[in-house]
């Protein structure tokens, strides 16, 4: 039975992929470095208990005991190393030309060329090595599989990371603080064309080039671990495009996306400490957290906001102590390896309800969920962004019905009769592309706010048809009666906007847990104005499907203990009867012997 139980858990212990996502300065690199540590490098006594809640201390002891006995170091696959591998597919001259083309502010081109010359020999050596490996991939007879695996492993996991660090230092020395923006641009090129220095329109067949290479490296590590007889635990630093997350999620049941989060103020302070100036940080934020992505940018650009939104596990890295971050990583590692080893926190339990509630949203732009509790985490109301009761959600409306004047109860009098609105809607919703999309079986809905803002030539949030999730939850309290929510807690999958923040303040909410920060000035202007300000808390925990995977044991813990240990509880009398029966059996054998 011990072997059977061990077999059940062996699948995840032998193969696990953890992807990290988060904005620059949040702590993804620090998390990666921790996952690479050997058990002997982790001082488990550093993680002091110190919780005011005794049960939380008990959970901590259980986690630390399990982690100390079951921790294994990870392999690391860094996105910047994969980008470097694509760079090395091109000769050194192409690399230099790209640098000079994309930094027009550089005054002395010849001086820049000369400065980069110091890495030319190493670059050319790595370039030839890269070409050699690519050639062997197509040559089935050149070497044994094990020899190929060793050579690829040496290149990608020993030589390449070192060269990336050399390249980064050189770029930072010559082009101050431009390494990140340069690699982001190259990453977008790879997703567009499959080439680091490619240009031209998007080739959709190449849009997964980066993550497909990442997937090949995961398979390489898996093969190596099979030859070595070891487990294959992989950490990916860092995923910043949601389609790359979906790519991995569809392929691996054992894939978990961790978002490493911190407050914006803390993150920007870290970047300033590293030497970045405000304009550079602002430029970086615009690339990593764009306000609106359309067209080809949806496929090739970074969208960390969406990656955070679809993450399985959220890690809060306030920066006050590195042990705080490391313990959270140990906790969720342990829960992946041994589901149900502890119960979820109160904040996880409630946020899971808010997260589930957002699925009820009929908004075609973004789904948000919210939950309100009293100060003891007892649920008082649930809400999600949606149209008011008895109005039809946007998801269920069809533009064909609007233009053909059918299903009239689904549309307002304004939508049915205003000529300007109908002209704009008809022009937008009657194109060949829209018709083709409809003919594929898709329901063609539309966003009223977008069309109305086009009519007015403005950008006005008041035209949204939906109540916000927090607003909806607040209204449930008043609609169905409540004893009051003063000093209560608001949970929301996105931090509240200015309007919902004012309502939360008025209701006396004292804590607001959120996953993703909402753009705007709600925090600094509303929630941090006056006195008795609500405390904003960045959520930490498992959410969505991973919540069930981590907190539901593979088999009941009682049964597992019994099967693994043979543990049995018997009354003393039963035990004595067993002894007497054994004696009787022995005496009977002796009597038979004497008779003979």
Whether this model's pTM surpasses 0.75 = yes
Picking from 435, 433, 431, 496, the residue whose alpha carbon sits closest to that of residue 468 is 496
What's the CATH code of the domain at 544? 3.40.140.10
What percent of the chain clears pLDDT 70, i.e. is strictly above it? 96
In a domain, 63, yes or no: no
| pLDDT for 101 beyond 60 | yes
Mean pLDDT of 220-233: 92
Q: What confidence tier does 336 reach under pLDDT thresholds 50, 70, 90?
A: very high
Q: Are residues 374 and 438 in the same domain?
A: no
In a domain, 331, yes or no: no
Q: What confidence tier does 566 reach under pLDDT thresholds 50, 70, 90?
A: confident
pLDDT at 99: 87
**Where is mean pLDDT largest: 258-262, 459-463, 499-503, 571-575?**
258-262
Contacts of 31 (CB under 8 A, 6+ apart): 20, 235, 237, 258, 260, 315, 317, 325, 329
Q: Are residues 288 and 149 in the same domain?
A: yes
Mean pLDDT of 112-118: 85
| pLDDT for 152 beyond 80 | yes
| Boundary-marking domain end, from 311, 342, 365 | 311
Q: Which domain holds residue 519?
A: 351-386+466-551
pLDDT at 373: 96
CB 512 within 8 A of CB 492: yes
**Domains held by the chain: number:** 4
| pLDDT for 104 beyond 60 | no
Q: Are residues 255 and 360 in the same domain?
A: no
Give the tens place of pLDDT for each residue, 288-317: 877 777 778 878 888 998 999 999 999 999
| pLDDT for 110 beyond 80 | no
In a domain, 123, yes or no: yes
Q: What confidence tier does 115 reach under pLDDT thresholds 50, 70, 90?
A: confident
Range scoring the smallest mean pLDDT among 110-114, 167-171, 387-391, 474-478: 110-114
In a domain, 326, yes or no: no
In a domain, 478, yes or no: yes
User: Is the preceding omega at residue 238 within 30 degrees of 0, hence cis?
Assistant: yes
Query: What value does the mean pLDDT of the chain take?
Result: 90
| CA–CA distance, 537 with 332 (Å, rounded to integer) | 20
| Boundary-marking domain end, from 403, 428, 452 | 452
Phi, psi of 448, deg, nearest 5: -60, -40
Contacts of 12 (CB under 8 A, 6+ apart): 254, 336, 337
Q: Are residues 433 and 515 in the same domain?
A: no
Q: Are residues 164 and 214 in the same domain?
A: yes
Give the tens place of pLDDT for each residue, 199-223: 778 888 888 999 999 999 999 999 9
Mean pLDDT of 384-393: 96
Picking from 465, 364, 471, the residue whose alpha carbon sits closest to that of residue 412 is 465
Higher pLDDT among residues 557 and 394, named by residue? 394
In a domain, 26, yes or no: no
Mean pLDDT of 584-591: 93
Q: What confidence tier does 138 reach under pLDDT thresholds 50, 70, 90?
A: low
CB 359 within 8 A of CB 372: no
Mean pLDDT of 106-132: 86
In a domain, 206, yes or no: yes
Mean pLDDT of 451-477: 92
Q: Are residues 145 and 80 in the same domain?
A: yes
Q: Are residues 189 and 299 in the same domain?
A: yes
Neighbours of 551 (CB within 10 A): 18
| pLDDT for 142 beyond 80 | no
| CA–CA distance, 493 with 349 (Å, rounded to integer) | 13
Give the tens place of pLDDT for each residue, 44-61: 988 876 767 889 999 999
In a domain, 64, yes or no: no
pLDDT at 106: 58
CB 80 within 8 A of CB 164: yes
| pLDDT for 139 beyond 90 | no
Length of the chain measured in residues: 596
Q: What confidence tier does 148 reach under pLDDT thresholds 50, 70, 90?
A: confident
Q: What is the DSSP letter of 142?
A: S
Range scoring the smallest mean pLDDT among 125-129, 391-395, 494-498, 543-547: 494-498
pLDDT at 143: 63
What are the DSSP calls for 187-220, one per residue? HHHHHHHSSTT--SS--GGGTTHHHHHHHHHHHH
Q: Are residues 416 and 442 in the same domain?
A: yes
pLDDT at 519: 65
Higher pLDDT among residues 562 and 123, named by residue? 123
Q: Are residues 376 and 422 in the same domain?
A: no
Q: Are residues 368 and 432 in the same domain?
A: no
Q: Are residues 246 and 360 in the same domain?
A: no
| CA–CA distance, 357 with 372 (Å, rounded to integer) | 12
| Boundary-marking domain end, from 311, 327, 361 | 311
Q: Are residues 291 and 439 in the same domain?
A: no
């Amino acid at each position: 039975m011990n072997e059977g139980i061990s077999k059940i858990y062996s699948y995840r212990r032998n193969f696990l992929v953890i992807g990290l996502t988060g904005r620059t300065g949040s702590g993804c690199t620090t998390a990666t470095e921790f996952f690479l540590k050997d058990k002997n490098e982790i001082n488990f006594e550093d993680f002091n208990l110190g919780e005011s809640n005794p049960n939380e201390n008990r959970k901590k002891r259980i986690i630390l005991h399990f982690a100390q006995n079951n921790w294994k170091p990870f392999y690391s696959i860094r996105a910047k190393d994969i980008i470097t591998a694509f760079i090395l597919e091109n000769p050194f001259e192409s690399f230099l030309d790209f640098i000079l083309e994309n930094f027009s502010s550089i005054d002395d081109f010849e001086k820049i060329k000369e400065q980069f010359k110091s890495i030319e020999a190493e670059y050319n050596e790595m370039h030839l090595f890269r070409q050699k490996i690519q050639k062997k991939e197509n040559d089935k007879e050149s070497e044994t599989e094990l020899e190929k695996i060793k050579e690829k492993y040496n290149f990608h996991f020993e030589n390449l990371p070192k060269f990336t660090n050399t390249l980064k230092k050189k770029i930072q020395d010559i082009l101050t603080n431009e390494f990140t923006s340069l690699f982001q641009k190259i990453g977008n090129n790879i997703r567009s064309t499959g080439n680091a220095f490619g240009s031209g329109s998007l080739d959709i067949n190449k849009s997964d080039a980066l993550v497909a290479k990442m997937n090949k490296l995961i398979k390489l590590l898996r093969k190596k671990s099979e030859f070595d007889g070891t487990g294959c635990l992989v950490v990916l630093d860092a995923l910043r495009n949601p389609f790359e997350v979906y790519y991995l999620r569809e392929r691996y049941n054992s894939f978990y996306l961790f978002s490493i989060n911190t407050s914006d103020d803390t993150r920007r302070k870290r970047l300033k400490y590293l030497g970045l100036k405000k304009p550079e940080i602002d430029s970086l934020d615009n690339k990593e957290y764009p306000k609106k992505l359309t067209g080809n940018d949806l496929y090739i650009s970074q969208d960390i906001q969406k990656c955070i939104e679809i993450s399985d596990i959220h890690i809060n890295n306030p920066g006050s102590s590195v042990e705080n971050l490391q313990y959270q990583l140990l906790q969720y590692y342990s829960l992946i390896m041994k589901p149900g080893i502890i119960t979820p926190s109160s904040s996880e339990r409630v946020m899971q309800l808010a997260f589930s509630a957002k699925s009820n949203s009929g908004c075609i732009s973004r789904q948000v969920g919210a939950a309100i509790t009293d100060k003891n985490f007892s649920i008082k109301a649930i809400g999600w962004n949606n149209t008011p009761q008895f109005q039809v959600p946007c998801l269920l409306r069809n533009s064909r019905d609007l233009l053909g004047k059918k299903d009239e109860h689904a549309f307002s009098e304004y939508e049915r009769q205003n000529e300007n609105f109908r002209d704009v809607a008809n022009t937008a919703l009657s194109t060949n592309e829209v018709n083709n999309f409809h003919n594929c079986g898709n329901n063609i809905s539309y966003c009223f706010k977008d069309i109305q803002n086009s009519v007015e030539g403005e950008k006005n949030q008041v035209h949204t048809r939906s109540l916000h999730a927090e607003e909806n939850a607040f209204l449930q309290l008043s609609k169905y009666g409540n004893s009051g929510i003063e000093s209560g807690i608001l949970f929301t999958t996105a931090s509240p906007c200015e309007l919902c923040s004012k309502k939360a303040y008025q209701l006396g909410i004292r804590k607001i847990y959120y996953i993703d920060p909402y753009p705007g000035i709600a925090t600094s202007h509303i929630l941090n104005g006056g006195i008795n300000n609500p405390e904003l808390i960045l959520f930490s925990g498992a959410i969505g499907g991973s919540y069930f995977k981590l907190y539901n044991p593979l088999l009941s813990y009682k049964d597992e203990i019994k099967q693994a240990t043979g543990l049995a509880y018997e009354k003393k009398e039963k035990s004595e009867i067993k002894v007497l029966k054994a004696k009787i059996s022995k005496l009977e054998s002796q009597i038979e012997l004497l008779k003979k």
